[in-house]
Structure 1
Amino acid sequence: MADDLDWNAIIAPGNEAERRKATSDRTAGTDDRDDTGGAAPQPDRPMSRREARALEAERARRDTPTAPEQSAPEQPAPEESAPELHPEVAALLTGEVPSPAAAPGGTGSDRTDDPGRTGGGASRPPREPRPKRRRGPLVAGIVIVAVVLAGGVSAYVFAAPKIQQIAAALSGSQEPDDYTGTGKAKVTITIKQGDIGEDVAATLQRSGVVKDSKVFYKLLLASPDVQFQPGSYSLKKQMSSKSALAALQDDKNRVQASIVIPEGTALADIEAGMVSKAGLTKTEVAKAAKDLSAYDLPSGATTLEGWLFPATYPINPGWTAEQYFASMVDTMKEHLAAAGVKEADQEHVIVFASLVQKEAGLAADYPKVARVFQNRLDIGMRLQSDATVAYGTGNTHRVTTTDAEREDASNAYNTYAHEGLPPAPISNPGDLAIKAVTNQASGKWLYFVTVDLETGETVFSDTFAEHEQAVAKFQAWLRAHPDYQ
């Protein structure tokens, strides 16, 4: 094949006539001398078969007299176009098979009995209009070749993902719309009462079980005998649609899921638990949390925070977000009533108890912590609770604060800057904190500090001087435990 390919013709610019002229000039051997009378230059390399054919055609043209009346009509100048690639090179890049007439060495190039050729000359019959070529694969091929030539294998490995993206965009291909295998990390999903196939598919995609709900739904339509039972199921993330459907039909994967709310949990964490456990959407839960009129709360209540009693609530696939919240609120009211709290005092007790819930450590210290805050309220002393400051900054998982946060008076929950209780609860308190508020310990303490974070030992002080000694003890404990987190 190397002898058949005219690489100068392949890479030479211009149209076919210009390339033929360049070949003729390069191999001009029809006369023994050049135009200046000197010896004609000889080729500096052996001629290829294509060059030899071109030379033969040129000699025949010169030797054949042309009558004036037979001169060819003037043809309009061809439009400028991009240089064409050799057919076999184009075939390598585009995947198109060149026609026999176009292939070097093919029957269409060497036949002299072709009716479109005159006496074996170089003139050609008019070409049929060429169909437009798909340039996508060609561009992708050029990109790949350029990368390999420029940087070798390492460059190609680095750029391969981008090349694949370009090739996929040009060819119209897309990434697979389904996972493969049986999944990875465990996840619990809930099918609610009344859910149809599209709802189940959406839940699986939202929970990360399947990649595309449409793929799962199409599989479901092809399985008319499949029926889902309301309830919670233990599945895995990134499952194929086929594996997910099979898992939902296996009773071994059904679980008795529940929403567990520990004491001191904030509203934001409860909402997240309802989404992950009850199969509800964030939009549904957030909307239900804002509609306070649905829960018969006191007129002074501005949030559901504090009104959701910490307990374990079983998943009911037929429930809405409002029903779950209503159950939690009703449970809180029952426990307030059991603690002897009157309806008029419910909001005050919940705000107070939410503070004790976050600040107290050992169960025995809850009534003492409540007494410290009550003593401060009685004398008009600021509560100076780090837990309230942290809540006001949006952090519900810590009680420590910085100097700047404690000095920020724009934080309505900053009890270092503002007197009295915070404007609303900072957590959802349990029975222990509620009873600590309604049955406070007796004492004159105004200060307390935990001096041992491992045991929870807390020192309560009447005076600031005593409190400073307790703080020094705590600082000594921290120096002795530098790695304590």
Structure 2
Amino acid sequence: MTIGPATDAIADPMQNLMANDSGDSGRGRANRRSLLAGEPPREKRGHKGAWGCLIVFVVLAALLAGTVFFLQGPISQIIAATQGPADFTAEEAVAGEDVVVMIHDGDGGSDIASSLVDQGVVKSFDAFYRILLQTTPEPVFQPGAYQLKTKMVASTALAALLDAKTRLNRTVVVPEGTAAVDVLQLISEGTDIPLADLQAAAANVASFGLPAEAATLEGFLFPATYTFAPGDTAQIALQTMVNRQFKALDSAGVAAEDRWSTVVLASLIQREAGLRDDYYKVSRVFRNRLDPAQWQSGLLQSDATVAYGTGNTHLVTTTDAERGDAGNIYNTYVHPGMVVGPISNPGDLAIDAALHPLDGSWLFFVTVNLDTGETVFSTTVAEHDAAVVVWQNWMREHPEYG
């Protein structure tokens, strides 16, 4: 993710060789013995032959080292292919901890494999996916929440997902940063509450006790794991989540009159920040951009807000056309000031970051490594442009993210 003024942005092995020369102090006596034996004296050896051997040895050693270096990749691939994909062992599985995994409606094998890796259930995508492909008949997964463990052997994880006993009835897992429209879908998948009922209940915003500014439930459906009782209605399920968000705000010390502004900023931080420590820096960037003395345009220029306004609730990237669309009321490239409303449902960390931004003069940030989440924060345009180049280079080296 990136925020900016116009765009969101071998050492060779060495060997130390030591050669110890020793003098031939007995060479005179050897010559005399040769004469007495009637043999011609042996020819005196020079150092030229020894140095030649040494040079050949060094060259051969260098060639050998170079060969080993360049063959490391292929050798590793051969070993990996022989040993199979990385998988947790039965011994490692003993230390596994409880975790709830959601299977969503329409999820395929690759989606499930990725989710299991992300939550530490299986050690690698290939370990699970290979067993999945080898299983006959083809497994059929039911949407819902499943009680699993971290560090599971891939075959054990697959068996658990196909066992009805591990499926948690009426349990819903809402990840941080999930948009309200997706929360309704999650509730429907984890319970027997029809999606239509949830949508109808959510439309009656005034019935949930939200701040007067709220036009939807966005931002007030706290991300957590919920287990609903039999007979719970759509209204009860949604009110439970709203009450949980109120509790989180109260625990953070947010006054009732500040709930709206806190949730709006926290929802933005939740979508834009990656690593835990970055939440507080992202909070500062947006606050600095709202300060006319530091950022005259007042434009937050967040791709996440633009994407939300287009209905792409899972994205934080946009096109030039989308960033130029003034008809999108969530477009912070066009409309100055804080975004008009929440763009996700934030958790405790984002709420805390909204209340306690880190001190700093940053005005820009760009995630330069999507694998690690490494993000560069900058104060000047020149610093940011340099960071954007790093990001662009990383993207060229990882076309799968394009």
- TM-score, normalization by structure 2: 0.58
Query: By how many angstroms is 1:466 displaced?
Result: 1.1
In structure 2, the partner of 1:475 is: 392
Cα distance in structure 2, aligned partners of 1:264 and 1:288? 21
Cα distance in structure 1, aligned partners of 2:364 and 2:398? 24
Task: Pick from 140, 153, 156 the counterpart of residue 185 of structure 1.
Answer: 140
In structure 1, the partner of 2:339 is: 422
Query: By how many angstroms is 1:252 displaced?
Result: 5.3
In structure 1, the partner of 2:198 is: 285
**Does residue 314 of structure 1 match 2:236?**
no
**Does residue 448 of structure 1 match 2:358?**
no
The AA in structure 2 aligned to 1:186 is F
RMSD between superposed Cα atoms in Å:
2.5
**Does residue 340 of structure 1 match 2:253?**
yes
* SS of residue matched to 1:186: coil
Task: Pick from 293, 318, 327 the counterpart of residue 410 of structure 1.
Answer: 327
The AA in structure 1 aligned to 2:244 is T
Task: Pick from 264, 267, 277 the counterpart of residue 364 of structure 1.
Answer: 277
Query: By how many angstroms is 1:421 displaced?
Result: 1.6
In structure 1, the partner of 2:110 is: none
What does the per-residue CA deviation read over 1:279-321, in whole Å, with 9 as the maximum and x for residues that have no partner?
A: 1112211111011122111111111010010000003111001
Structure number, greater radius of gyration: 1
In structure 2, relative to structure 1, the CA distance for the partners of 1:339 and 1:252 (3 Å cut) is closer
What does the per-residue CA deviation read over 1:199-251, in whole Å, with 9 as the maximum and x for residues that have no partner?
A: xxxxxxxxxxxxxxxxxxxxxxxxxxxxxxxxxxx999xxxxxxxxxx9xxx9
The AA in structure 2 aligned to 1:341 is V
- TM-score, normalization by structure 1: 0.49
Query: By how many angstroms is 1:185 displaced?
Result: 2.2
Gaps of 5+ in 1: 1-181, 191-233, 237-246
Matches within 5 A, 1:23-422: 185-187=140-142, 255-379=168-292, 380=296, 381-422=298-339
* SS of residue matched to 1:401: coil
**Would you say the 8 A contact 1:371–1:440 is kept in 2?**
yes
Q: Bigger CA drift: 275-284 or 261-270?
A: 275-284
**Would you say the 8 A contact 2:265–2:342 is kept in 1?**
yes
The AA in structure 1 aligned to 2:291 is D
In structure 2, relative to structure 1, the CA distance for the partners of 1:284 and 1:456 (3 Å cut) is same
Equivalenced residues, count: 248
Cα distance in structure 1, aligned partners of 2:282 and 2:270? 9
Cα distance in structure 1, aligned partners of 2:336 and 2:167? 52
Cα distance in structure 1, aligned partners of 2:313 and 2:339? 14
Cα distance in structure 1, aligned partners of 2:167 and 2:369? 44
**Does residue 465 of structure 1 match 2:382?**
yes
Query: By how many angstroms is 1:473 displaced?
Result: 1.4
What does the per-residue CA deviation read over 1:112-147, in whole Å, with 9 as the maximum and x for residues that have no partner?
A: xxxxxxxxxxxxxxxxxxxxxxxxxxxxxxxxxxxx
**Would you say the 8 A contact 1:189–1:235 is kept in 2?**
no
Higher relative contact order (CA 8 A, sep 6+): 2
Cα distance in structure 1, aligned partners of 2:317 and 2:172? 28
Query: By how many angstroms is 1:256 displaced?
Result: 4.0
* SS of residue matched to 2:383: helix
What does the per-residue CA deviation read over 1:42-98, in whole Å, with 9 as the maximum and x for residues that have no partner?
A: xxxxxxxxxxxxxxxxxxxxxxxxxxxxxxxxxxxxxxxxxxxxxxxxxxxxxxxxx
The AA in structure 1 aligned to 2:209 is D
The AA in structure 1 aligned to 2:142 is V
Cα distance in structure 1, aligned partners of 2:319 and 2:165? 50
In structure 1, the partner of 2:72 is: none
Cα distance in structure 2, aligned partners of 1:333 and 1:307? 8
In structure 2, the partner of 1:199 is: none
Query: By how many angstroms is 1:183 displaced?
Result: 11
* SS of residue matched to 2:291: helix
In structure 2, relative to structure 1, the CA distance for the partners of 1:255 and 1:390 (3 Å cut) is closer
Query: By how many angstroms is 1:188 displaced?
Result: 5.8
**Would you say the 8 A contact 2:144–2:172 is kept in 1?**
no
Query: By how many angstroms is 1:276 displaced?
Result: 1.6
Question: What is the percent sequence identity of the aligned residues?
Answer: 51
In structure 2, relative to structure 1, the CA distance for the partners of 1:276 and 1:460 (3 Å cut) is same
In structure 2, relative to structure 1, the CA distance for the partners of 1:338 and 1:235 (3 Å cut) is closer
Cα distance in structure 2, aligned partners of 1:298 and 1:269? 22
In structure 2, relative to structure 1, the CA distance for the partners of 1:475 and 1:328 (3 Å cut) is same
Cα distance in structure 1, aligned partners of 2:341 and 2:284? 20
**Would you say the 8 A contact 1:303–1:424 is kept in 2?**
no
